[in-house]
Amino acid sequence: MTLPLDGITVLSLEHAIAAPFCTRQLADLGARVIKVERPGSGDFARAYDQRVLGQSSHFVWVNRSKESLALDLKHPAAAEVMARLVGQADVLVQNLAPGAAARMGLDAERLLRKHPRLIVCDISGYGEDGPYRDKKAYDLLIQSEAGFLSVTGTGEEPAKSGNSIADIAAGMYAYTNILAALMQRQRTGKGSHIDVSMLESLAEWMGFPMYYAFDGAVPPQRNGASHATIFPYGPFAAGDGGKVMLGIQNEREWQAFCEIVLRAPAIHEDERFQGNARRHANRVVLQGLIDDIFRTLTADELVRRLDEARIANARVNDMAGLWAHPQLRARDRWRDVDTPAGVIPALLPPGRQSAFSPRMGAIPSVGQHTKAILAELGMDADALEPVGAGAAR
C-alpha cells in the first residue's frame, strides 16, 4: 500500500519528546526516519523509566517505525557521515541544546545554501532569536512561562499537566509545518527553514484564557477539573463513590438537567440559577443542591439519566480504564508493535483513513541500523570506532 510520505527521508538529531513525536508521525505516514543517537546510551529518554517490558514509557510512545544510527557527533568521521546523510535527506529535524546544531555546521543558513531543496526544522524552547533564545527549556518550565500553570489546578495550588503538553504542542506544530513545507516544495522546488518554539506552540493553545483576560480583565480562576467559567461543568460524585463528568452548555440543557436528571424542576425556576452567569456566581449553593441529589444515585444511574436528558457526560477514567476503553476496542484502534524487549500494543494515529493504513513499525534498539546505513553511504562501521580503539586491540 502506498503511503503519503513514501520516498521521503527524514534525518533527525532528536531526544526527549518534541522532535521524536514530530518524526514518529512522519514515519506513521511512510517517511523513512533516521534517528541519530549517542552510541551506547542513545536518546536519554530511553532511561526515563522501565515501565514497558523494561523500556521507557516515553521512548516506546514516540519512536516506532524509525531507524537508529549510533553516531558520536564529536568523532572525526561524524561530519562526513552527516554530510552524506544530509545530502540524501528531504527533511532535517533537530531539538538539540540552543546553538549546538550551528556549532556542527548544521544550521539552516549553511545547509540551504548547499541543499536548496532541504527542509530544516529547528525545535527549541523559545525560538532562534529574542532575549530568551539561549535559555534551556523543559516541558514544565514552558508550562510555567506560557501561563498554563496559572489556569490549571485548584484555587490553592497550581498543577502541571499530567503529560508533556508543551513538548506535544511543539511536536505537533513541527509536524504540520513540515507537511506544509513538503507541499510548498512540490510547487516551488525550494526547501525552507522552520523555526518552532515550545513557548509559541503552547501560547497558541492558551488562546481562550488569554482572550478571556483581554485588556487587563480578570483571568480564569483555577477550579481543579471543573470549568473555570461555565457551571455545572466538571466532575460530580455519585452515591456509590463513582465520579461522572458532565457539562451544561445552554439553557435547553439546563432545563433538561433539572427536570430529567435532578428531577427537581424548582431548581430550574430559581432566579439565582437563571443563565450561566448567575449559576457561576452562585456555584457553591448550586453545587450543594446537586450533590444532595447525586448522593442518592449510583454512577450508572446518573449516566443513564444524563443520557436520557441528552446531557454530555463521561466517566472519570484512570489509565486502566483508558487501556480497556470499549470505544477504542470497538473501533479496532490497537495494533501490535515490536520492540527490542517484545511485542507491545500501540494505538493507531488519530484519524481513520480510507486511502491507506499508517505504518506501525518496530521500535529500534540503540544503533540497530548503523551498519546498514553506513553501507548505503559507502562507509564502513570501523570508521566510527572510538579514536585509539584499534591501538588498544
* pLDDT value, residue 385: 78
Please tell me which residue, 108 or 224, carries the higher pLDDT value: 108
Tell whether 57 is covered by a domain: yes
State whether 349 and 387 are in the same domain.
yes
Which residues are marked as active site? Answer: 167
User: From CA 306, how far away is CA 283, in angstroms rounded?
Assistant: 20
Confidence of residue 393 (pLDDT cuts 50, 70, 90): very low
User: From CA 120, how far away is CA 118, in angstroms rounded?
Assistant: 6
State whether 81 and 134 are in the same domain.
yes
Provide Rg for the chain, Cα atoms. Answer: 26
Q: Would you mind telling me the total number of residues written for the chain in this entry?
A: 393
* pLDDT value, residue 155: 87
pLDDT at 85 over 90: yes
- How many other C-beta atoms are found inside a 10 Å radius of the C-beta of residue 218? 7
Instruction: Tell me the CATH number at 305.
Output: 3.30.1540.10
Q: Are 198 and 142 in contact (CB under 8 A)?
A: yes
For the record, the C-alpha cell of 35 comes out as 534517528
State whether 48 and 86 are in the same domain.
yes
Taking the mean position of all CA atoms in its chain, how far away is CA 120? 21
User: From CA 62, how far away is CA 59, in angstroms rounded?
Assistant: 6
Residue 87's nearest CA partner among 188, 218, 223, 191 is: 191
Confidence of residue 391 (pLDDT cuts 50, 70, 90): very low
* pLDDT value, residue 382: 81
State whether 345 and 247 are in the same domain.
no
Per-residue pLDDT averaged across 281-303, rounded?
96
Tell whether 354 is covered by a domain: yes
User: From CA 210, how far away is CA 238, in angstroms rounded?
Assistant: 34
* pLDDT tens digit sequence for 325-371: 999 999 999 999 999 999 999 999 999 999 999 999 999 999 999 99
DSSP 136-172: ---HHHHHHHTTGGGGSB-SS-B---SS-HHHHHHHH
Q: Which of 57-61, 100-104, 384-388 has the lowest mean pLDDT?
A: 384-388
DSSP 227-256: -SSSSSEEEEE-TTS-EEEEE--SHHHHHH
Cα–Cα distance list, 176 to 70, 73, 183 (Å): 28, 28, 11
Q: Which of 6-10, 75-79, 89-93, 294-298 has the lowest mean pLDDT?
A: 75-79
Confidence of residue 392 (pLDDT cuts 50, 70, 90): very low
Confidence of residue 387 (pLDDT cuts 50, 70, 90): low
* pLDDT tens digit sequence for 188-223: 999 999 999 999 999 999 999 999 999 999 998 888
pTM: 0.91
State whether 75 and 123 are in the same domain.
yes
pLDDT at 389 over 60: no
Per-residue pLDDT averaged across 98-110, rounded?
92
The domain of 241 spans: 233-315
Q: Are 349 and 62 in contact (CB under 8 A)?
A: no
State whether 186 and 93 are in the same domain.
yes
* pLDDT value, residue 194: 98
